[in-house]
Amino acid sequence: MITVTSVGGVVGQPFAEAYCAAKFAVEGWMESLAPVIGKLGVDVSVIEPGAVATEFVANVRAGRDIEALIAEAGDYGPMMLNYIARTEESFRSAQTPPEVAAVVVAALTDDKPRFRYVTSEWADWFTGVKLADRTAPPYRR
């Protein structure tokens, strides 16, 4: 069983709270399901893409006055501006849909599929920082 989630299912990001919460839920569901159906011989894998070259950013901007939103955000304005700039930059160097599809095919054809597949070096770095940090929740005491 393969499910496509997102790096947003591993790393929470400001101004993407609902999106990340939904992706975290999918990741948790698959993580909980994996040992159960694994006993029946069914492997579970999640595919975690980062930015993919689609119309995502254009659709987010469509019909919105971003500058007005930032101005209305008050103290959150600079953080919002930084987030938008970082997101748009990541989509300028985004991977292509066929590159993501190749990872899905690899997961489908692996003799021993892993639970987690990232689809780019950037996604590996981005999720790896959190997954390697044992001081982050829930490990913090």
pTM of the model: 0.82
Confidence at residue 105, expressed as pLDDT on a 0 to 100 scale: 97
Q: Reduce the DSSP state of residue 46 to 3 states and report it.
A: strand
Residue of 19, 83, 117, 139 with catalytic role? 19
Rounded distance, CA 75 to CA 135, Å?
29
Active site residue 83: no
Confidence at residue 139, expressed as pLDDT on a 0 to 100 scale: 45
Rounded distance, CA 96 to CA 121, Å?
13
Q: Which fold has domain 1-51+98-141?
A: Rossmann fold (3.40.50)
Under-50 pLDDT residues of the chain: 139-141
Q: Where are the domains of the chain?
A: 1-51+98-141, 55-93
